[in-house]
A and B are shown apart, each in its own frame.
Chain A
Amino acid sequence: MTADQAEEPTRRDFLYIATGTVGAVGAGALAWPFIHQLNPDASVKALASIEVDISAIGEGAAVTVTWRGKPVFIRHRTAAEISAAGEVKIEELRDPQADKDRVQKPEWLIMVGVCTHLGCVPLGQKGDFGGWFCPCHGSHYDTSGRIRKGPAPNNLAIPEYVFLDDGRVKIG
């Protein structure tokens, strides 16, 4: 053995490494299906977007719909709420974002109703800023759903959505 090892790489060394490589690639390829099966399946993905009729939601009212297993708040904001959201100085925010960047139409605020702290559902029209208040650990959100006070690090998330026409919105 010692004499062999002192020599240049032998055919046996080559076969050993080549076999090991094929084995490693094969094991990796085989591992993928066993990991990928944990990802959302076709039946979950098929329900990944929803359409909501918003024509009946009057000014100052809101509905909560379920999307991908989470609540989505659709709020028809009042003029006072819109102007309050627009007047906030962006520099003062923990997660700076202008109100106009959080909406497609100013009167419709559509966001995922999950507190960015630890996942509870905030209560609407509560808290120090007239927006949302999370009862779990006391995070306060303003009328644009931005974090203003409390432990949450980020603003309430905005889902992907499009207005199909004046009365319908497609979320996801």
Chain B
Amino acid sequence: MSGHSEFQPTSAPVKWLERRLPILSLMHGAAVAFPTPKNLNYWWTFGGILMFCLGVQIITGVILVMHFTPHVDMAFSSVEHIMRDVNYGWLIRYIHSNGASMFFLAVYIHMFRGLYYGSYKEPRELIWILGMVIYVLMTAAAFFGYVLVWGQMSFWGATVITNLFGAIPLVGDFLLSLLWGGFSVDNPTLNRLFSLHYLVPFLIAGVVVLHIWALHVPGNNNPLGIDVKGPQDTVTFHPYYTIKDTFAVVMFMIFFALFVFYMPNALGEPDNYIEANRLSTPAHIVPEWYLLPFYAILRSIPDKLLGVIAMGIAIFVLFLVPWLDTSKVRSARFRPLYKQFFWLFLIDALILGYIGAKPAEGMYLVIGRIATAYYFLHFFIILPVLGLVETPKPLPESISKSVLDKSAAGKAA
């Protein structure tokens, strides 16, 4: 990792360790002395917030497994056992279930921040791609976890999602039987999803290490989107950003606690408090809020295979953003046109989310189709063309100069 570590061990035990395993100087270089642009705003704290979320999910998840029974006859009642019998089980489960939503909220903010400030552009393409890998793993983990509760939404969500794979020509049925371990979603399915739900968070943790490793080669992007030119443009990560990140995490915890303690079921579906019944599908079946935009895209295509393909492309296209965006200017601050299309895209994503929660009929279907078309238009037409036709505003000389100018203007006013 880059960043010149001035780590000088003084005590004998540290020297002993350092000669054999230089982990302390590695940590010092990565999280203490690491030179970080001095102009990062609060949108940059979501990386730290996401590490906090992953930690919370792993700790509460390991505890929930101590009390959960992964069997179709007992899974649902063991969740109720956690809620009623286990000491503070309600708290730990509500932290875990709302924690998934908090994790996605934070990751969407993190991703939109990257889109706004062009954090995916050269030389940070791989950081973005690793981030997308984490995002895909997160959706998998969230889906697996949702099934474990074995309520009506769990069961029918699992049925619908696994059936997506059945749409694939030739190998569809083969994949389905691999996923199910039977002829439908049943006990073998629950068991394998339980196993994977425990595995994926650790895969995520591993990719997070790669994500941060890759980040520490070029260093952080920043709101101006221009390169760091020298030490005058940076401050050390500690104490400046450790404190800023900690403060942001505390604020985030307050927001998180609001859900856990005052509206723990606001983001869930009441139907999931009914035990899975394979003979009756709930009248209105929807995924959790964080998957609604993709669900809307799936439903807006009136063909089984094409719908699945559209949804797959909607996710996969995000991997290609570093090459679809042809502009050399990173930050939307200096891209007058892109800035407007960024907000249009954000609104489009929110509309898709809203449509995904509504029944697929009437106006909802029409709006859903328009929003779906715009989603693909944004990535495949607008992004590449904008870079060619847009005239960016002049970029500041350096981060340091921009910061000093701003502070001078502040003093004058």
Interface residues, chain A, with chain B CB atoms under 8 Å away: 32-34, 36-39, 41-44
Q: How far is the CB of B69 from chain A (nearest CB, A)?
A: 12
B88 and A42 within 8 A (CB): no
- Which residues of B are in contact with A by a Cβ distance under 8 Å? 59, 63, 66-67, 81, 84-89, 91-92
Which of A33, A38, A39 is the most central at the interface, judged by chain B CB atoms within 10 Å of its CB?
A33
Say whether B63 contacts A34, CB under 8 Å: yes
- How many contacts A-B (CB < 8 Å)? 34
B87/A33 in contact, CB under 8 A: yes
User: Provided the pairs A34-B63, A37-B63 are in contact, do residues A42 and B92 lie with their beta carbons within 8 angstroms?
Assistant: no
Q: Tell me which residues across on chain B come within 8 A of A37, comparing CB atoms.
A: 63, 66-67, 86-89, 92
Residues of A within 8 A of B88 (CB): 32-34, 36-37
Residues of A within 8 A of B66 (CB): 37-38
- Residue numbers in A under 8 Å from B89 (CB-CB): 37, 41
**Is there an interface contact between B87 and A36, defined as CB atoms closer than 8 Å?**
yes
Please name 11 further chain A to chain B contacts, defined as beta carbons within 8 Å, in addition to the given A37-B89, A42-B87, sorted by A numbering.
Answer: A32-B88, A33-B91, A33-B92, A34-B63, A37-B66, A37-B67, A37-B87, A37-B88, A42-B85, A43-B81, A43-B85
Asked if B85 and A34 sit within 8 Å, CB to CB, the answer is no
- Contact of B92 with A34 in the complex, beta carbons under 8 Å: yes
Q: Which residues of B contact A42 (CB under 8 A)?
A: 84-87
The docked-state distance in angstroms from the alpha carbon of A39 to that of B67 is 12
The answer for the CA separation of A39 and B66 in the assembled complex, in Å, is 12
How far does the alpha carbon of A49 sit from the alpha carbon of B88 in the complex, in Å?
A: 23
Bound: A38/B67 CA distance, A: 9
Q: Which residues of B contact A33 (CB under 8 A)?
A: 87-88, 91-92
Give min CB distance, A39 to chain B, whole Å. 6
**Nearest-Cβ distance from residue B350 to partner chain A, whole angstroms:** 33
| Docked CA distance A116–B59 (Å) | 36
In the complex the two chains form, what is the Cα distance from A147 to B15 in whole Å?
A: 55
When chains A and B are docked, how far (Å) is the Cα of A115 from the Cα of B117?
69
Q: What residues of chain B lie closer than 8 Å to A38, measured between beta carbons? A: 66
Report A-chain residues with C-beta under 8 Å of the C-beta of B85. 41-44
A46 and B59 alpha carbons, distance in the complex (Å): 28
Question: What residues of chain B lie closer than 8 Å to A34, measured between beta carbons?
Answer: 59, 63, 88, 92
14 contacts between A and B (CB under 8 A): A32-B88, A33-B91, A34-B92, A36-B87, A36-B88, A37-B63, A37-B66, A38-B66, A39-B87, A41-B85, A41-B86, A41-B87, A42-B85, A42-B86
B44 to chain A, nearest CB (A): 22
Nearest-Cβ distance from residue B18 to partner chain A, whole angstroms: 27
- A43 vs B66: C-alpha distance in the bound complex, in angstroms? 15
- Bound together, the chains give a CA A114 to CA B87 distance in angstroms of 28
**Residues in chain B near residue A36, CB distance under 8 A:** 87-88
CB distance from B235 to the nearest CB of A (A): 16
- Indicate the member of B87, B88, B92 with the most A CB atoms within 10 Å: B87
Q: 7 shortest A-B CB distances, which residue pairs?
A: A33-B88, A42-B85, A43-B85, A41-B85, A36-B87, A41-B86, A37-B87
Complex CA gap A37/B84 in Å reads: 12
Q: Choose among B67, B81, B85, B89 the residue with the greatest number of A CB atoms under 10 Å from its CB.
A: B85
Bound CA–CA A41/B88 (angstroms): 9
Q: Residues of A contacting B63 with CB < 8 Å?
A: 34, 37
Per the bound structure, the CA–CA distance linking A36 and B90 in Å amounts to 13
Distance between Cα atoms of A32 and B88 in the complex (Å): 9
Q: Which residues of A contact B92 (CB under 8 A)?
A: 33-34, 37
Max count, chain B CB within 10 A of own CB: residue among A33, A36, A37, A41: A37
Closest B residue to A42 by CB, please name it: B85
CB closest residue in chain A, given B84: A42
Closest approach, in angstroms, between the C-beta of A138 and any C-beta of chain B?
37
Q: How far apart sit A39 and B59, CA to CA, in the bound complex (Å)?
A: 17
B59 surroundings in chain A (CB, below 8 A)? 34
Q: Which residues of A contact B67 (CB under 8 A)?
A: 37, 41
Q: How far is the CA of A33 from the CA of B84 in the complex (A)?
A: 14
Shortest C-beta distance, B223 to chain A (Å), equals 28
CA distance A43 to B80 in the complex (A): 12
Min CB distance, A47 to chain B, in Å? 11
**Residue in B63, B86, B89 with the greatest tally of chain A CB atoms within 10 Å:** B86
Which residues in A have their C-beta under 8 angstroms from that of B81? 41, 43
CA distance A96 to B227 in the complex (A): 81
The complex places the Cα of A44 from the Cα of B85 at a distance, in Å, of: 8
- Nearest-Cβ distance from residue B76 to partner chain A, whole angstroms: 15
Hey, which chain B residues are within 8 Å of A44, CB to CB?
85
A12 CA / B59 CA spacing, docked (Å): 34
Taking CB as reference atom, which chain B residue is nearest A40? B87
Q: How far apart are the CA atoms of A36 and B92 in the complex, in Å?
A: 11
Q: Report B81 CB to chain A, min CB distance, Å.
A: 6
In the docked arrangement, what's the CA distance between A42 and B80, Å? 12
Determine the distance from Cα of A42 to Cα of B84 in the docked complex, in whole angstroms.
8
B31 to chain A, nearest CB (A): 19
Nearest chain A CB to B256 CB, angstrom units: 12
Minimum CB–CB distance for B204 against chain A, Å: 21
Give CA–CA (A54, B281) in the complex, Å.
53
Once bound together, how far apart are the Cα atoms of A38 and B88, in whole Å? 10
Q: Once the chains are docked, how many angstroms separate the CA of A43 from the CA of B86?
A: 8
